[in-house]
Amino acid sequence: MSKRLLSGIQPSGELHLGNYLGAIKQWISLQQVHESLFCIVDLHAITARQDPKKLHENIRRVAASYLACGVDPQESAIFVQSSVSAHAELAWVLSTFTQMGELERMTQFKDKSKGKGAGQINAGLFTYPVLMAADILLYKPTAVPVGDDQKQHIELTRNIAERFNNYYKTETFVVPEGVFPSSGARIMGLDDPTAKMSKSAPSDLNFISFSDDADVVRKKVKKAVTDSGSDVTAGDDKPALTNLLTIYSLLTGREVSDIEKDYVGKGYGDFKAELAEVIVEWLAPVQLEMKRYLDDPAQLDIILAAGTEQANRIAQVTLDEVYKTVGLGY
């Protein structure tokens, strides 16, 4: 298999439906035709202060979430970023190939630092995309499946890779391609269809979390914002319904146009009640599987150790090549 895939998620909290539909769902189908590496990017998570005990727990919960969603540990590597020291090492080298102006233009940085003075923004938040470039370039992947919000970071990664290769007249890095789902690349908040679903949203009503029980899911869907009118249809003038129909469609594999037909003559209430059940039916087995992995820490350790070994093996070769190219060491 010559095709390789790398992706990752921050363990800064419980995963949500947007993470699944925008990223993990793609991973599951792509892992069959790619050598796949799925990272839990804990070094990225500390760009916001984390409680150490909670962070450690979240790292394991994210690993269990990957597995519960269908990442196959026999086929794919799951590993924790901080266990592979080459990520931080390559990030340093790449930071010397990244311009301040490029980092200042990153919309995620602008969003996260909004309203804060320079004295309140840590440098890690600023250089975050350089570490992400290192995560990717170490593995020379051909595909990086992510949601829409990571497009700019992938573009920067491509520029850094090309700049390095051009400067040294080498082909050290493979210029990676982002892979974005045709539907679900930006799942919007249930309480605000103008902004993406996010675990850092001010209200819990924004997202469906992997730890929500059936009643919480029903409550959140019931309270989800809808559009004016009463027809259950998608369209530019109906951002809320479009989002809810997209979720329904992606979880059931049915076309939006087909789902719309079910609700002709019915109202938002009927649709929302059935959407809640669709989500509950998807989430319940995921939660059971998560619990199974979390109740068996030894098995999770074995999976993460094997993933780390595979990741280290690949990453170290690239790092050695980079150091040699740059002239580092003796």
Picking from 27, 283, 237, 28, the residue whose alpha carbon sits closest to that of residue 143 is 27
Among 4, 5, 7, 47, which residue interacts with ligand TYM (rule: CB under 6 A)?
7
In angstroms, what is the minimal distance from the CB of 28 to ligand TYM? 14
Among 4, 25, 44, 272, which residue interacts with ligand TYM (rule: CB under 6 A)?
44
| 197 in a labelled binding site | yes
| 122 in a labelled binding site | no
| 149 in a labelled binding site | yes
Show Cβ contacts of residue 259 under 8 Å, excluding neighbours closer than 6 positions. 232, 245, 248, 249, 252
In angstroms, what is the minimal distance from the CB of 199 to ligand TYM? 8
CA pseudo-torsion sign 215, 216, 217, 223: positive
Distance of CA 110 to the CA centre of its chain: 19
Q: Which residue has the tokens 């170490």?
A: 138
Asked if 279 contacts 247 with a C-beta cutoff of 8 angstroms, the reply is yes
The rounded distance, in Å, linking the Cα atoms of 57 and 52 is 9
| 196 in a labelled binding site | yes
DSSP 187: P
Tell me the β-bridge partners of 77.
37
| 192 in a labelled binding site | no
Buried b (16+ CB within 10 A) or exposed e, 25-61: bbbbebbeebbbbbbbbbbbbbbeebeeeebeebbbb
How many CA atoms within 13 Å lie on the side-chain side of 68?
Answer: 24
User: Does 40 participate in binding ligand TYM (rule CB under 6 A)?
Assistant: no
Between the two ends of the chain, the Cα-to-Cα distance in Å is 35
User: Does 18 participate in binding ligand TYM (rule CB under 6 A)?
Assistant: yes
- Helices 123-137 and 86-95: crossing angle in degrees, nearest 10, is 110
Among 34, 60, 196, 218, which residue interacts with ligand TYM (rule: CB under 6 A)?
196
- Smaller CB separation from ligand TYM, 201 or 214: 201
DSSP 197: -
User: Does 136 participate in binding ligand TYM (rule CB under 6 A)?
Assistant: yes
- Smaller CB separation from ligand TYM, 4 or 186: 186
> Residue with CB nearest ligand TYM?
22
Among 69, 80, 93, 197, which residue interacts with ligand TYM (rule: CB under 6 A)?
197
Q: Which of the ranges 19-27, 72-80, 116-124, 265-273 carries the binding residues for ligand TYM, by CB under 6 A? A: 19-27
Which residues are catalytic, by number?
Answer: 112, 196, 199
User: Does 146 participate in binding ligand TYM (rule CB under 6 A)?
Assistant: yes
Q: Which of the ranges 69-77, 132-140, 272-280, 286-294 carries the binding residues for ligand TYM, by CB under 6 A? A: 132-140
Report the binding-site residues for L-tryptophan: 135
Report the binding-site residues for ATP: 10-12, 18-19, 147-149, 187, 196-200
Binding site for ligand TYM (CB under 6 A): 6-10, 18-19, 21-23, 41, 44, 132, 135-136, 144, 146-147, 149-150, 153, 185-187, 196-197
